[in-house]
């Protein structure tokens, strides 16, 4: 689905990403973890087509990525909902902008509201919702466009532990049922392990691939309780220590 070939990124004269090559398969769920400032958000913005690498190439479905795609959705920790619009209106906004017919977008919006358990708040305004509900609305607004690529930038970091657990499990279910390609940037090792079929550990700035891990417990319904989960969690912790050690 996405291939980056030897990409580098400079801001002013500072090298942020260096010679980064990576392939993400269609339907894969990849978690990206790494030290603060190593360029995770910048890499996600490159995948979204929002910024161009200074050198190297980036392809989505074998086509050079030159601008944002309509079927890529980026979800960050700032929900970016319009406060003067209801939940229903916020969710159908992208369809409205794309001039999808009212009859078609009503049905799609209703189906998405049901999928994310938001029917009871559909007439409320964002300020009347909890953080978890607002994040669910942001996810619904992304899903209503039936994206083939979902990018999450620390999307759950400001949520309480119970809401985060619930949303993580909803997303995992969504990934397993829709097979949308998903990329999660996170600081949280447990989140990376729960949501990533594969986990990419980045080096310190300038960021590049330090190591990737295949996650054997991803498809285990009780992943968080499994021995494999705890073993890989320790391995990831150790690898992040190595990353920091290499930088000193
Ligand atoms: N628009 C910009 N102009 C100049 N420098 C920038 C810009 N955006 C990001 N940077 C710098 O690029 C580096 C990487 O930032 P980025 O947000 O991609 O890292 P990150 O790994 O996501 O960080 P964190 O984990 O702390 O969120 C940082 O040093 C940051 O200060």
Q: Is 179 inside any structural domain? A: no
Quick: pLDDT tens for 54-102: 999 999 999 999 999 988 999 887 768 999 999 999 998 888 777 778 7
For residue 220, is it within any domain? no
Is the pLDDT at 110 greater than 90? The verdict is no
Is 201 a member of any domain? no
- DSSP H helices, the chain, are 40-47, 87-97, 102-115, 131-143, 161-178, 189-195, 227-247
Rounded CA-CA distance 72/222 in Å is 30
Better pLDDT: 124 or 99:
124
Q: Quote the number of domains for the chain.
A: 1
Helix axis angle, 87-97 to 102-115, nearest 10°:
130
The sign of the torsion formed by the CA atoms of 188, 193, 197, 203 equals: positive
In a domain, 133, yes or no: yes
Domain assignment present for residue 208? The answer is no
Whether 36 lines ligand 1, by a CB cut-off of 6 Å, is: yes
Quick check: is 122 in a domain?
Answer: yes
Q: How far does the centroid of ligand 1 lie from the alpha carbon of residue 45, in Å?
A: 11
Average pLDDT estimate for 94-118: 81
* Res. 23 pLDDT band, cuts 50 70 90: very high
Q: What is the ipTM of this complex?
A: 0.97
Residue 84: which domain range? 80-146
Residue 205 belongs to a domain = no
13 Cβ below 6 A of ligand 1: no
In this structure, is residue 241 part of a structural domain? no
Q: What is the pTM of this model?
A: 0.90
């Amino acid at each position: 689905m996405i291939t980056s070939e030897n990409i580098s990124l400079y801001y002013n004269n500072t090298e942020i990403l260096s010679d980064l090559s990576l392939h993400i398969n269609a339907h894969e769920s990849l978690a990206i973890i790494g030290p603060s400032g190593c360029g995770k958000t910048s890499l996600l913005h490159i995948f979204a087509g929002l910024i161009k690498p200074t050198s190297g190439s980036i392809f989505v479905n074998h086509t050079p990525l030159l601008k944002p795609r309509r079927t890529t959705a980026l979800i960050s920790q700032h929900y970016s909902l319009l406060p003067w619009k209801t939940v229903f209106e916020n969710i159908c906004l992208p369809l409205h902008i794309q001039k999808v017919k009212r009859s078609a977008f009503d049905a799609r919006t209703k189906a998405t509201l049901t999928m994310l358990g938001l029917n009871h708040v559909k007439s409320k305004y964002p300020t009347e919702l909890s953080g978890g509900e607002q994040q669910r609305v942001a996810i619904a607004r992304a899903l209503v466009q039936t994206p083939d690529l979902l990018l999450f930038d620390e999307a759950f970091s400001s949520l309480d532990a119970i809401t985060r657990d619930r949303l993580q499990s909803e997303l995992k279910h969504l990934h397993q049922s829709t097979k949308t390609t998903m990329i999660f940037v996170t600081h949280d090792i447990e989140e990376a392990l729960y949501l990533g079929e594969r986990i990419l550990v980045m080096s310190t700035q300038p960021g590049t691939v330090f190591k990737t891990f295949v996650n054997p417990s991803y498809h285990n319904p009780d992943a968080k309780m499994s021995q494999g989960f705890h073993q890989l969690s320790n391995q990831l912790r150790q690898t992040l220590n190595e990353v920091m050690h290499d930088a000193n």
